């Protein structure tokens, strides 16, 4: 019998977790079972996922921020089908293909100013690695600087920029020459830049872990503007990692526009893929670009075999078209604001909500110890075991009782993050807010199932500490 992917999927559907237990990451399988996320999804559309029984799940996780335009968008599907139907030449390598040229043009136009030179890779981490190399080559310097609490990816260069022990520990030596400063601390920044050893200062304009950005949490609104000016003064390139917050996620085409910034290098990925074919891009100024590809011998000194493949390029082009055609960047800003206002409304009723912050459809809900004495005691016990258990309880409650997918916003913080598709409407906002209301209501009962689930998580966390 010939290969038939439809039959294969139909025949093996439901064996997902057994297969992963046997052949892939069985620790993840254990975690998914523990937190009640071990579902088998059959289909997806827009803001929703559907399991084998046809149950509908509201997806406010968006594949870690990939599905800005929603899942299985018809324009993307058609673009992919058309590329296949045309039997285009692909990855000839020793040619200049049309689709990568067109996507380069589109990305450069979107990035504005004189950022007119593009490089394509396959993921966020890969384009951040490229940003390190571009910055080093253009400046002839070795050092890199990033922000504390940042996340830039998990391959060695970007892992080193990611200032987080939870990701860095256990993998040996990292990239030399990388240093960190706290967001908002201009004195520390200038001290590092003054050495003139720093090639590039990389920031996520809106930090993914915890959703932090200037203008909230005591960080001055003009921090990035001043940081960028200091970079210019000392010859350091100012790099914006827009892998997560870019392409409409934070309510602007690029999040750096919120502060009127003019970065030397911008990296992007996630949303650009349309949720179909991995793609990452760098856009920068020509002189910086030519610092890498400086002569004919160095014309492919940085490249990646799959980097400009036609399907990825078509997805990028189709996604930029959809963002513009459906006014999704504007919609992300409006719907995000509406969602945040509605969640803030819940804070009047639930004193566990400390703060709701975000830009566009990139939103954090931070929790705090409740005023009720019994609940405070339970919170304290959990906090001592593992800061971050309470948001796990909320994420579990949202999934278990309401079929809403969310995520904790990072390690050691009492924050959940929501990254809905920009296509959400009133129905999705109401469903999320009412689910959160009901989960927080249940948390009022210290002997109820929510805290019992939390106790189970605490048991696992203690066991993990012992084996660490």
Ligand X SMILES: Cc1ncc(COP(=O)(O)O)c(C=O)c1O
248 near ligand X, judged by CB under 6 A: no
Q: How far is the CB of 65 from ligand X (least distance, A)?
A: 7
160 near ligand X, judged by CB under 6 A: no
**Sheet arrangement for strand 198-203:** 117-121, 280-284, 265-268, 237-241, 198-203, 143-147, 178-181
Q: Of the listed pieces 120-128, 192-200, 293-301, 361-369, which binds ligand X according to CB under 6 A?
A: 120-128
Segment 421-450, which members bind ligand X (CB under 6 A)? Answer: none
User: In angstroms, rounded to a whole number, what is the distance separating the alpha carbons of residues 189 and 227?
Assistant: 7
User: In angstroms, rounded to a whole number, what is the distance separating the alpha carbons of residues 204 and 244?
Assistant: 8
How far out from the chain centre does Cα 378 lie?
A: 32
128 near ligand X, judged by CB under 6 A: yes
List 243, 317, 343, 416, residue binding ligand X (CB under 6 A): 243
Q: How far is the CB of 245 from ligand X (least distance, A)?
A: 7
User: In angstroms, rounded to a whole number, what is the distance separating the alpha carbons of residues 36 and 175?
Assistant: 37
125 near ligand X, judged by CB under 6 A: yes
Site string for ligand X, 202-241 (x = CB under 6 A): --x---x--------------------------------x
H or E stretch covering 26: helix 26-34
Segment 188-207, which members bind ligand X (CB under 6 A)? Answer: 204
Q: How far is the CB of 111 from ligand X (least distance, A)?
A: 16
Q: How far is the CB of 264 from ligand X (least distance, A)?
A: 17
List 67, 120, 151, 213, residue binding ligand X (CB under 6 A): 151
Segment 249-308, which members bind ligand X (CB under 6 A)? Answer: 269
Q: Are 27 and 33 a contacting pair, CB within 8 Å? A: no
Q: Is 340 exposed, middle or buried (0-12, 13-18, 19+ CB in 10 A)?
A: buried
Question: Helix crossing, 98-111 with 310-325: angle to 10°?
Answer: 40
| Residue count, binding to ligand X (CB under 6 A) | 14
Q: How far is the CB of 244 from ligand X (least distance, A)?
A: 3
Indicate the residue among 128 and 160 with the shorter CB distance to ligand X.
128
User: In angstroms, rounded to a whole number, what is the distance separating the alpha carbons of residues 391 and 409?
Assistant: 8
3-state class percentages of the chain: helix first, strand second, coil last, to nearest 5: 45, 15, 40
Indicate the residue among 269 and 333 with the shorter CB distance to ligand X.
269
Contacting positions for ligand X (CB under 6 A): 64, 123-125, 128, 151-153, 204, 208, 241, 243-244, 269
């Amino acid at each position: 019998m010939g290969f038939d992917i439809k039959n294969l999927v139909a025949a093996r559907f439901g064996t997902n977790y057994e297969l992963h237990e046997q052949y892939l990451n069985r620790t993840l399988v254990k975690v998914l079972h523990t937190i009640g996320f071990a579902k088998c999804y059959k289909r997806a559309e827009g803001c929703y996922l559907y399991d084998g029984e046809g149950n509908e799940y509201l997806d406010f996780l968006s594949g870690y921020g990939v599905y800005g335009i929603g899942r299985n968008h018809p324009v993307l599907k058609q673009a992919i089908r058309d590329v296949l139907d045309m039997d285009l030449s692909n990855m000839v390598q020793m040619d200049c293909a049309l689709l990568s040229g067109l996507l380069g043009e589109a990305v450069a136009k979107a990035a504005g100013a004189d950022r007119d030179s593009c490089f394509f890779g396959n993921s966020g981490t890969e384009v951040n690695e490229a940003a390190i190399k571009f910055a080093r080559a253009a400046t002839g310097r070795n050092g890199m600087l990033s922000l504390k609490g940042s996340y830039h990816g998990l391959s060695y260069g970007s892992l080193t920029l990611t200032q987080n022990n939870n990701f860095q520990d256990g993998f040996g030596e990292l990239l030399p020459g990388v240093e960190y400063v706290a967001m908002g601390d201009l004195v520390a920044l200038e001290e590092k830049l003054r050495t003139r050893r720093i090639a590039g200062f990389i920031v996520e304009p809106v930090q993914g872990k915890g959703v932090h950005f200037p203008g909230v949490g005591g960080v001055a609104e003009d921090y990035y503007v001043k940081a960028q000016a200091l970079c210019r003064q000392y010859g350091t390139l100012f790099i914006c990692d827009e892998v997560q917050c870019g392409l409409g996620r934070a309510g602007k085409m690029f999040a750096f526009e919120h502060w009127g910034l003019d970065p030397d290098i911008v990296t992007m990925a996630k949303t650009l893929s349309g949720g179909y074919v991995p793609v990452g891009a760098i856009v920068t100024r020509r002189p910086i670009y030519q610092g890498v590809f400086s002569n004919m011998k160095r014309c492919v000194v940085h490249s990646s075999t799959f980097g400009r493949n036609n399907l990825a390029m078509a997805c990028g082009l189709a996604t930029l078209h959809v963002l513009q055609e459906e006014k999704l960047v504007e919609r992300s800003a409006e719907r995000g604001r509406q969602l945040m206002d509605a969640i803030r409304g819940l804070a009047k009723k639930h004193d566990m909500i400390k703060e709701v912050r975000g830009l566009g459809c990139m939103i954090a809900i931070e929790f705090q110890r409740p005023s009720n004495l019994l609940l405070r005691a339970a919170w304290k016990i959990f906090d001592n075991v593992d800061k971050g258990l309470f948001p796990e309880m909320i994420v579990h409650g949202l999934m278990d009782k309401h079929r809403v997918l969310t995520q904790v916003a990072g390690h050691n913080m009492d924050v959940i993050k929501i990254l809905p598709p920009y296509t959400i409407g009133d129905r999705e906002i109401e469903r999320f807010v009412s689910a959160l209301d009901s989960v927080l209501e249940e948390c009022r009962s210290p002997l109820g199932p929510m805290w019992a689930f939390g106790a189970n998580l605490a048991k696992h966390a203690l066991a993990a500490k012992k084996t660490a």
